[in-house]
Amino acid sequence: MRIRFVIAMFVILALVVPALMLARDGKAVTAKQLVGTWKVVSVTNERDGKKIDGFGPNPQGITSFIGNGRFVRVLTRSDLPKFASNNRNTGTPNENQAVMQGSIAYFGTYSCTAAEKSCTYHIEGGTFPNWVGADQKRVLTLTGDELRETNPAASTGGNAVLVWKRVQ
């Protein structure tokens, strides 16, 4: 009797614990669940074992996933210097460098594969020329209103973990 009870408990634990862990870790998203606008919460870049805020302590930015399969993303530091000339083409080397290092924007189409638990961005255009025309795979998980994204190959080297909140 007692043995049967113990076995039953084991079975229940074996079923419940992974389910709880899965719920806590978030579920892989489908393309449909991504549709909407997301505001950035944090961007953590990990390189050589060190963690840094990829776009400063107070990153600004959004990602919009449209129902027709297109997306756009803009991410910036909140302390970028304005161009003294007020002309985008005549920034000083320091101004251009600050913006390139402290922001990224790109757009294109996206698709998700449930089997691989990942989504791919097909980048058509962006601030960083090396990413233009590239297909980039990201692991995206959703917990309630929070979207967590892992990029194994960040534009600064290393990997990046991005956290987003859905904009109502």
What is the contact surface with other proteins in residues (CB under 8 A)?
37, 60-62, 64, 66, 68, 70, 72, 74, 76, 80-83, 85-91, 93, 96-97, 99-101, 103-107, 124-130, 132, 155-157, 167
Contacts with 36 (C-beta within 8 Å, 6 or more apart), sequence order: 64, 65, 166, 167
User: CA 120, 124, 129, 130: dihedral to nearest 10 degrees?
Assistant: 30
Our CB check for other proteins shows the closer of 115 and 130 to be 130
The CB-of-114 to other proteins minimum distance in angstroms stands at 25
**Which tokens is 104 given?**
């990224």
Q: Judge whether 43 and 53 are in contact, CB under 8 Å.
A: yes
The CB-of-4 to other proteins minimum distance in angstroms stands at 57
Our CB check for other proteins shows the closer of 33 and 83 to be 83
Our CB check for other proteins shows the closer of 33 and 107 to be 107
The CB-of-26 to other proteins minimum distance in angstroms stands at 25
Element (H, E) at 19: helix 2-25
